[in-house]
Amino acid sequence: MIGTKARDTLAASIADGHALAPASSRPGVFRALLAHRTGVAGLVIVAGVALIAIAAPLIAPDDPTRIDALRRLGPPSADTLLGTDNLGRDILSRLIWGARVSLGTAALAAVLILTIGVGLGMVAGFYGGLLDDLLMRVVDVLLAFPALILALAIAGVLGPSITSVMIGIVAVAWADYARVMRGQVLSARERQYVEAARAIGVGNTRILARHLLPNVLPPILVLASLEMGGLILAISGLSFLGLGAQPPTPEWGAMLNDGRSFIAAAPQLMVYPGLAISIVVVGFNLLGDGLRDAFDPHLRI
Amino acid sequence: MLRYIARRLAYLIPVWLGISILAFALALLAPGDPVRQVLQAGGIDAPSAEQVIALRRELGLDQPGPVRYAIWLGGAVRGDLGRSYRTGEPVLQSLLDRFPRTAALALLAVSLGLIIAVPLGIVSAVFRDSPVDQLARLGALVGASVPSFWLAYLLILFFAVQLRLLPVAGASEPRHIVLPALTLAIGAAASLTRLTRSAMLEEMFQDYVRTARSKGLRERAVVVTHALRNALIAIVTITGIRLAALLGGAVIVETIFAWPGIGKYVVDSIFIRDYPTIQGFVLFTGTVVLLVNLAVDVSYVWLDPRVRLGGKTR
Count chain A–chain B contacts defined by CB atoms under 8 A.
157
Residues from chain A that touch B188, judged by Cβ atoms under 8 A, are 4
The pLDDT value recorded for residue B7 is 85
pLDDT interval class at A67 (50, 70, 90):
confident
SS3 A190: coil
Q: How far apart are CA B266 and CA B86, in angstroms?
A: 12
Residues from chain B that touch A233, judged by Cβ atoms under 8 A, are 147
Residue of A150, A161, A269 for testing the chain B interface, max B β-carbons within 10 Å: A150
**Residues 6 or more apart whose Cβ sits within 8 Å of residue B252:** A237, A240, A241, B148, B149, B152, B263
Asked if B289's CB is within 8 angstroms of A282's CB, the reply is: no
Contact with chain B for residue A262, Cβ under 8 A: no
User: Is residue A154 scored above 60 in pLDDT?
Assistant: yes
Across A5-9, A76-80, A178-182, A223-227, least confident range: A5-9
CA distances from B203 to A14, A291, B125, B226 (A): 18, 23, 10, 9
The pLDDT value recorded for residue A4 is 35
Contact with chain B for residue A143, Cβ under 8 A: no
Asked if A152's CB is within 8 angstroms of B270's CB, the reply is: yes
Residues from chain B that touch A142, judged by Cβ atoms under 8 A, are 22
The pLDDT value recorded for residue B45 is 74
Task: Give the residue on A whose Cα is nearest the Cα of B14.
Answer: A137
Residues from chain A that touch B281, judged by Cβ atoms under 8 A, are 153
Q: Record the pTM.
A: 0.88
Contact with chain B for residue A253, Cβ under 8 A: yes
Residues from chain A that touch B192, judged by Cβ atoms under 8 A, are none
How far apart are the CA of A241 and the nearest CA of chain B, in angstroms?
Answer: 7
Among residues of chain A, what percentage have pLDDT more than 90? 44
How far apart are the CA of B152 and the nearest CA of chain A, in angstroms?
Answer: 11
Torsion sign across C-alpha atoms B253, A236, A45, A24:
negative
Residue spans of alpha helices (H) in A4-146 = 9-15, 27-34, 37-54, 56-59, 91-127, 129-143
The enclosing H or E element of A235 equals helix A213-240
Tens of pLDDT, residues B18-31: 999 999 998 887 77
Contact with chain B for residue A156, Cβ under 8 A: yes
Asked if A237's CB is within 8 angstroms of B148's CB, the reply is: yes
Asked if A253's CB is within 8 angstroms of B281's CB, the reply is: no
pLDDT interval class at A3 (50, 70, 90):
very low
